[in-house]
């Protein structure tokens, strides 16, 4: 009996497909490394990662508008709370803070700084109320021991704030 040995080499198409997958994997790795570097840079500046965003909690106090301007200078905006999980995350800092909610344009029509209307809310009991007839057009996180922790307050009062920077998915 005579044995024959054959070596089967992959076809040209298989080699091209394997090279393409390797290139895709290398590109994905490089993009992930870049994202980790960016997150590391923000982390060193005091930003905290949660979900698909980075959050910055100020250590100084400013009015709502000045707080928003500070966030924008950081490439972010005041926090927009989109879920119960994000509400719980922001409450954990245990600080009364400005959030990105206002009814400055139309009284009683609360809008987020990104232009979306308020749909899910966590207002404290009896809020919003424009207490004692005051012009309370800006939202804050105040009642920190309660899930429903939001309060409306005059925008010119100074307090700390939370910035949110969305991480790009790409």
Label residues 127-147 b or e (16+ Cβ within 10 Å = b): bbebeeeeebbbbbbbbeeee
Answer yes or no: are the C-beta atoms of 68 and 138 closer than 8 Å: no
3-state secondary structure 91-147: HCCCCCEEEEEECCCCCCCCEECCCCECCCCCECCCCCCCHHHCCCCEEEECCCCCC
Query: How far apart, in whole angstroms, are the C-alpha atoms of residue 16 and residue 136?
Result: 64
Alpha helices in the chain (DSSP H): 12-44, 64-73, 84-91
pLDDT tens sequence for the chain (170 residues): 666 666 666 776 767 777 778 777 878 776 776 666 666 667 677 899 899 899 999 999 999 999 999 999 999 999 999 999 999 999 999 999 999 999 999 998 999 999 999 999 999 999 999 777 678 999 999 999 999 999 999 999 999 999 999 987 55
Tokens at 3, concatenated? 């044995």
CA atoms within 13 A of residue 102's CA, in its CB half-sphere: 18
Q: Residue 120 has what pLDDT?
A: 93
């Amino acid at each position: 009996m005579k044995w024959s040995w054959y070596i089967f080499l992959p076809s040209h198409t298989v080699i091209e497909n394997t090279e393409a997958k390797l290139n895709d994997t290398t590109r994905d790795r490089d993009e992930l490394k870049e994202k980790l570097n960016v997150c590391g840079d923000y982390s060193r500046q005091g930003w905290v990662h949660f979900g698909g965003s980075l959050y910055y909690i100020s250590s100084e106090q400013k009015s709502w508008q000045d707080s928003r301007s500070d966030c924008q200078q950081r490439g972010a905006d005041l926090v927009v709370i989109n879920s119960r999980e994000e509400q719980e995350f922001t409450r954990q800092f245990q600080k009364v803070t400005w959030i990105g909610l206002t009814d400055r344009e139309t009284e009683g029509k609360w809008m987020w700084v990104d232009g979306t209307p308020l749909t899910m809310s966590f207002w404290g009991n009896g809020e919003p109320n424009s207490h004692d007839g005051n012009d309370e057009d800006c939202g804050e996180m105040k009642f920190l021991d309660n899930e429903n922790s939001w309060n409306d307050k005059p925008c010119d009062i100074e307090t700390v704030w939370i910035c949110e920077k969305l991480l790009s998915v790409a």
